[in-house]
Chain A
């Protein structure tokens, strides 16, 4: 019951806040007992990455090149996100960008120009590592060619300080799907890990049926979920829906990041998929940031993330002096 109350509180706070993405703090498995120690040894043997605490930020859906309505601010929220990340007291080790870096253009040169603009803004991030997956606006028209030229493969994996990260591409086939080849790779990629390994999957569209009528789904996402099912410590981060959302499905926790361009409403409350109108008094309303802490006291079998909200406001647009960060710890 306490959890559900806290969850409502989190959602209420999130709906009021504005900002830029999600900050994750990870201290994988430290102090989690003998099983964690054994897992740590196993992970180090398998990937050479020692377990150590770290933080990372999730940003999503900047749509560089999009011009209003509903958002006449262009890249301002993205630029503000970069500035805010750089100003964090604890510099994140890693930034994940979960798709729709750019807004599509049928003119190839124009789309390439937008991708370069994204890269120029992202290059200002003072973080050691930036990784991206494409959204359909990046890769839906050209099968991911421009994305690959700019960033490399659209799906891949890597290990970072004891956490296994997997980038899944559910946009480049134009339809919301992963495809048999990628699913086979995904299964093979995870096979070398023990079932208690901490795994973070990041992708663009939700892997489950959040709202198929709004194309908020991945048609073969259930097959990816089947691959993940044996693993006990899985977090899936995604974008696409331009609003915060969290779902727990079996052992897997799914979190959506807000957008850096405009927000969509709650699909349970409105019939049509239309962006929330721009509010010039509160231009970043419904854009948000969340801090996720790895709970070092829980064993890896249980959910080991907790979330804090960060509420931001900007003087230029909201009349509040400077950037305010209000951290509200929440237990999910």
Chain B
């Protein structure tokens, strides 16, 4: 019985640790979630690092206007509406550094609104 209690405690503790992590690490097979905020004219964070073959969810939101979320190389082509959360599921297969841009015109600094996705 004690062993069982220890096991339950360990599981609860593990869950608490996972939920408190900046990038929540889910159980094996469940995608890692990375939160990204878009506002004119930047993405935060502007660099994220992924592992090749690792499924992840990019959870994206806009804090001001509508933005685009586009990477030709990673086959991402989405629109981020303010007030909504967008989940983009990807499993990068190729190592490298990929540029993701806002491709929904959002003002005079739009042309340089971008972030990097590094795949190791």
Pair B72/A136 contact, Cβ less than 8 Å: no
Residues of A within 8 A of B86 (CB): none
The reply to whether A175 and B79 form a contact with Cβ atoms under 8 Å apart is yes
Given contacts A209-B72, A219-B77, contact A174 B104 (CB under 8 A): yes
B77 adjacent to A103 (CB under 8 Å): no
Q: Chain A, interface size: which category?
A: 20 to 34
User: For chain A residues 211-268, which have a beta carbon within 8 Å of chain B?
Assistant: 212-215, 217, 219
Residue A104, interface by CB 8 Å: yes
Report the Cα distance A293→B15, complex, angstroms.
71
Shortest Cβ gap from A31 to chain B (Å): 44
Query: Quick check: A175 and B72 within 8 Å, CB to CB?
Result: no
In the bound complex, do residue B107 and residue A141 qualify as a contact, i.e. CB atoms below 8 Å apart? yes
Given contacts A219-B77, A273-B112, contact A213 B101 (CB under 8 A): yes
A199 to chain B minimum Cβ distance, whole angstroms, is 28
Residues of B within 8 A of A212 (CB): 70, 72-73
Q: Count CB-based A-B contacts (< 8 Å).
A: 45
Interface size on B, residues (CB 8 A): 19
A102 CA to B30 CA, complexed, in Å: 48
Bound complex: CA of A126 vs CA of B110, how far in Å?
35
Q: Is A175 a contact partner of B101 (Cβ separation < 8 A)?
A: no
Extra pairs beyond A141-B107, A175-B79 (7, CB < 8 Å)? A104-B105, A174-B66, A174-B104, A174-B105, A175-B105, A214-B111, A273-B112
Task: Return 15 A-B CB contacts under 8 Å, by A number.
Answer: A104-B107, A106-B107, A136-B110, A140-B105, A174-B68, A175-B68, A175-B103, A175-B104, A212-B72, A213-B72, A214-B111, A215-B103, A215-B111, A217-B72, A273-B112
